[in-house]
């Protein structure tokens, strides 16, 4: 559009120059009118050119502003990209460390599993040994219980024998004198105080002068 108007303006100037150099056959009034028309058209073209120029200047400024804005956005995007790249690098480092820790953890778990297996084997062996010991202990307790029963029977048998012996044993009689005591009498006759109390049905050690006591005869 602006090129077209420039061509028109230069064409008017060419016409004006041609008219000024060419002998006119018209009247001065007509020439003046023609000149005024030409000048008016040229002024109109110049005004249009100025308007278009200003419009283009405005568009160029707007475009320049957009370009600068896009440059700023590009710069911001680059900064954001660099920031994201750094974050990605940091994240990758963390992932690498996590993978190392995971490998170490897997190794630890594997070792723990082996330890558990060994402990389980040992526990089974210990359980078997404990079971064997328990069986032997139970058997020993049964033997002890049986032995206790035998001892009880022996004790019962001893009591029976003592009872029989007491019933068949011959006794003598001793009359208590001044200064006697059960302990002295038992010692003199080679027996015990308890035995004297038993065969004489005494509840305590009290005796009196003249009392007759049954004593074993040897």
Residue 90 resides in a domain: no
> Residues 214, 171: contact at Cβ < 8 Å?
yes
Structural domain that includes position 209: 169-217
Residue 177 resides in a domain: yes
Q: What is the pLDDT of residues 153-203, one digit of tens each?
A: 887 877 777 666 555 557 899 999 999 999 999 999 999 999 999 999 999
Q: What is the pLDDT of residue 192?
A: 94
Structure tokens, 200: 């004489």
Structure tokens, 121: 């084997």
Q: What is the number of domains present in the chain?
A: 1
Distances (CA, A) of 44 to 11, 13, 37, 152: 14, 13, 10, 150
Residue 113 resides in a domain: no
**Following DSSP, what letter does each residue of 17-78 receive, concatenated?**
HHHHHSPP-S-HHHHHHHHHHHHHHHHHHHHHHHHHHHHHHHHHHHHHHHHHHHHHHHHHHH
Q: What is the pLDDT of residue 25?
A: 52
Residue 186 resides in a domain: yes
Residue 176 resides in a domain: yes
Q: Please list, in sequence order, all residues whose beta carbon lies within 8 angstroms of the beta carbon of residue 213, skipping any fewer than 6 positions away.
A: 173, 174, 175, 176, 185, 196, 200, 207
Q: What is the pLDDT of residue 166?
A: 56
Shortest CA distance to 64 belongs to which of 53, 56, 74? 56
Residue 125 resides in a domain: no
Q: What is the pLDDT of residue 168?
A: 53
Residue 179 resides in a domain: yes
Residue 194 resides in a domain: yes
> How many CA atoms, within 13 angstroms, populate the side-chain half-sphere of residue 182?
18
**Residue 214 DSSP label:** E
**Residues in the chain where the model's pLDDT stays below 70:** 1-26, 162-169, 218
CATH no. for residue 192?
A: 3.10.350.10
């Amino acid at each position: 559009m602006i090129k077209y108007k420039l061509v028109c303006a230069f064409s008017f100037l060419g016409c004006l120059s041609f008219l000024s150099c060419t002998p006119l056959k018209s009247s001065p009034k007509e020439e003046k009118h023609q000149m005024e028309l030409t000048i008016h058209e040229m002024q109109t073209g110049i005004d249009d050119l100025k308007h278009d120029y200003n419009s283009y200047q405005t568009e160029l400024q707007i475009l320049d502003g957009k370009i600068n804005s896009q440059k700023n956005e590009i710069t911001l995007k680059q900064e954001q990209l660099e920031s994201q790249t750094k974050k990605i690098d940091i994240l990758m480092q963390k992932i690498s460390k996590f993978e190392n820790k995971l490998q170490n953890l897997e190794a630890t778990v594997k070792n723990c599993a082996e330890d558990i297996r060994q402990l389980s084997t040992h526990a089974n062996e210990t359980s078997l040994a404990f079971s064997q010991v328990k069986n032997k202990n139970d058997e020993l307790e049964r033997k002890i219980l049986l032995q206790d029963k035998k001892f009880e029977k022996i004790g019962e048998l001893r009591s029976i024998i003592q009872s029989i012996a007491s019933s068949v044993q011959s006794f003598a009689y001793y009359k208590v004198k001044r200064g006697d005591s059960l302990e002295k009498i038992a010692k003199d006759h080679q027996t015990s105080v308890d035995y004297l109390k038993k065969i004489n049905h005494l509840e305590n050690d009290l005796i009196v002068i003249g009392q007759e006591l049954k004593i074993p005869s040897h």
